[in-house]
Amino acid sequence: MSADAILTLDSVFAGYGKMTILNGTTASIRRAAITTVIGPNGAGKSTMFKTVFGLLPVRSGSIAFDGKTVTNFTPRQMLDAGAIYIPQGRNVFPELSVRHNLELGGVALPLQDVLPQRIDAIMERFPMLREKANAQASTLSGGQQKLLEVARGLLLDPKLILIDEPSIGLSPLMVQEVFTILKDLRDKGVTILLIEQNAKQALQMSDYGLVLEQGQTRIENAASAILADPRIAQLFLGGGLPQTAGAA
Amino acid sequence: MASFFQLLVSGLATGAIYALIAVGFTLVWQTSQTINFAQGEFVMLPAFFILAAMNAGAPFWLACLIGIVLSVVILGLLFKFIIVDPMLKYGVLPLVISTIALSLFLKEGAKDFYSSQAQPFPSLVPATDFHVFGIVVSLQSLVVLAAATATVVALHVLLTKTRLGRSMQATAQNPTLARILGIDVNRMVLYTFLINGALVAIASILISPIYLAKFTNGETLGIAAFLAAIIGGFNQVRGAILGGVILGVLDNLSAAYISAQYRGAFPLIILIVVILFRPQGLLGRIEERTV
Ligand SMILES: Nc1ncnc2c1ncn2[C@@H]1O[C@H](COP(=O)(O)OP(=O)(O)OP(=O)(O)O)[C@@H](O)[C@H]1O
Ligand SMILES: [Mg+2]
């Protein structure tokens, strides 16, 4: 376990009902870096995020974040600890205005007085949000909605962003924009944990990569090393890794 | 035969009451997946709380206040903690069955503990008619319409103009996302139950002078709320309002102009037409949840 890890999972078991999806997942996520989680469909990538964020119970094992144990924290406790989670798909309230969607992102702020300022600052940073402040969130394009989701999370000034397949359904231009924002945040010291289907593109802009298969970490390494790893091709061709590969 | 305008006003008045009941029904459904088959009985019961308070010597206004408070506590708070929370753990179906059982219990309870006879219920205003531009309107219909509208407007303001209300809407529209943002979902759900308790009590005060207080009142009212919610779009507060008003107006007009005998059939015809051509309801949106 490296000293500069902000998030660690230690033999985490979790799943849905009787189904176990995370089979002793162990991982160590570096601070102020972008780490992309890749793996075949159904590997448990989204399940890992939901478990970390407290939407699914940890059955055994432990999770630590920023120096404290956060196993089975509620989402609210995770927010208070400095993590935010942006799930896959559309995560806005379609009938509320852009401004009111943003405002709900501030519910977990310890000091509510700062919310108007923060909203103002975030609109400064994303002028599109100011332009559309009074429009229903449903009128935004997919990419604009994703920006809204990211901006809403940034109101809390998070240390860690868990973001699940942000590029899905977005135009290539918009994907670039979202990735640029994430890199910018990383440069400011924010840790980004990302899931992406387009593994190659995502790893190219990441610092680290984590390969998850059948609920276990198969590879944890620098993104460049993973890109150069011949086993990755095998994995994504559906071959699966031999058990001896083990977790890094 | 009453004039068209008179029928329209009384239809709007009935519809506004249906809307109150349907809005509460929809809110509770949205935030907690509770399809409350006892909603009609929830409207029947507060009238008996009020009559009991008056029998104990309270003046009408105080009795109404007591009725609303009891309704919020019993039909809101206790309903959630004693029935909904424990049953929902086992799934939606056991909860549905529990609310059906509760409806029977409340109905029989009102009959056994109070009376099987229809009880006269005081009206907010004397039964006088009003003459506007030569048209006769009953004062009672107007007051009912005004009171129900004021209630719906107040609720609308709460839900859309306050942050608390928007947190409630968020919880209703997407509870998982609400939790992810740190909204206290349990508290928001509780609030909708309390609001429903108040709405059914207000509906009870408005409708009982017309229907009289009777233990069977819940049967028709429950169905009306259910139909209004489906017609308007099950997942929409606005839809429930629209559905309630349409139902009330058409009910009154069709009974007068087409046939009073088949009165009960018209709402069902509307329902079938809506389901055929707009299965998500008039204002409903197709559920799109990703988390
Ligand atoms: N809500 C749920 N209830 C039951 N099973 C689920 C649920 N969500 C996911 N699963 C199952 O858990 C397994 C892992 O799902 P998960 O969403 O974590 O995979 P993933 O790695 O994110 O895959 P994808 O690349 O398709 O997003 C899958 O077999 C899936 O069918
Ligand atoms: Mg996934």
> Is residue B110 a part of any domain in this protein?
yes
Residue at B48 is within a domain: yes
Q: Which amino acid, residue A179?
A: F
Give B39-95 as a 3 state SS string.
HHHHHHHHHHHHHHHHHCCCCHHHHHHHHHHHHHHHHHHHHHHHHHHHHHCCCHHHH
Distance to chain B for A63, nearest Cα, Å: 18
Model confidence pLDDT, tens digit, residues A136-155: 999 999 999 999 999 999 99
| pLDDT at position B225 | 86
Q: Is A33 helix (H, G, I), strand (E, B) or coil?
A: coil
Distance from CA of A230 to the nearest CA of B (A): 34
> For residue A246, what are its two tokens?
């083990």
B228 is a domain residue: no
Nearest CA in chain A to B180: A75
- Whether A104 sits inside 8 A of B173 (CB atoms) is no
Q: A221, exposed or middle or buried, with CB in 10 Å at 0-12, 13-18, 19+? A: middle
Ranges A1-10, A38-47, B60-69, B84-93: which has the least confidence: A1-10
Instruction: Assess if residue B10 is contained within a domain.
Output: yes
Cα separation, A213 vs A241, in Å, equals 8
Dmax over CA atoms of chain B, in Å, equals 59
**The total number of structural domains that make up chain B:** 1
Distances (CA, A) of B12 to A58, A109, A131, B106: 54, 44, 40, 28
What pLDDT is attached to residue A127? 95
User: Is residue B34 domain-resident?
Assistant: yes
Name which of B277, B62, B24, B3 is nearest B159 in CA terms: B24
> Tens digit of pLDDT per residue, chain B (291 long)?
467 888 888 899 999 999 999 999 999 998 888 899 999 999 999 999 999 999 999 999 999 999 999 999 999 999 999 999 999 889 889 999 999 999 999 999 999 988 889 899 998 887 788 777 777 788 888 899 999 999 999 998 999 899 999 999 999 889 999 999 999 999 999 999 999 999 999 999 999 998 899 998 998 899 888 888 888 877 677 888 899 998 989 888 888 887 767 777 777 787 788 777 777 777 776 655 444
CB contact under 8 A, B291 and A91: yes
Do B182 and A88 lie within an 8 Å CB cutoff? Answer: no
Residue of B nearest to A75 (CA): B180
Query: Which residues of B lie inside 8 Å of A (Cβ-Cβ)?
Result: 163, 166-167, 169-170, 173-174, 176-184, 285, 288, 290-291
- Structural domain span for residue B7: 2-217
Instruction: Report the interhelical angle of B92-113 vs B39-55 (nearest 10°).
Output: 30
* Residues whose beta carbon lies within 6 Å of some atom of ligand 1: A 16, 19, 21, 39, 41-47
B274 within a domain of the structure (yes/no) = no
**For residue range A67-100, what is the model confidence (pLDDT) as tens digits?**
999 999 999 999 999 999 999 999 999 989 999 9
Name residue, tokens 């009073």: B260
A104 vs B181: CB contact, 8 Å cut-off? yes
Among the listed residues A87, A154, A104, the one whose alpha carbon sits nearest the alpha carbon of residue B176? A87
Question: pLDDT of A20-30, one tens digit each?
Answer: 999 999 999 99
How far is residue B61 CA from its own chain's centroid? 21
From the CA of A16, how far away is ligand 2's center (Å)?
Answer: 14
Q: Which residues of B touch A88 (CB under 8 A)?
A: 290-291
Residue B255 resides in a domain: no
Ligand 1 pocket test: pick from A21, A85, A162, A196 the residue with the most ligand atoms within 8 Å of its Cβ.
Answer: A21
Give the nearest partner residue to B181 out of A80, A88, A105, using CB atoms. Answer: A105
What distance in angstroms lies between residue B67's CA and the mean position of ligand 1's atoms? 49
The reported pTM is 0.86
φ and ψ at residue A10, rounded to 5 degrees: -125, 105
Q: Is residue B28 part of a domain?
A: yes
Q: At CA A227, angle to CA A223 and CA A229, rounded to 5? A: 115
pLDDT of amino acid A229: 83
Please write the tens of the pLDDT for every residue from A56-69.
999 999 999 999 99
Min CA distance, B177 vs chain A (Å)? 7
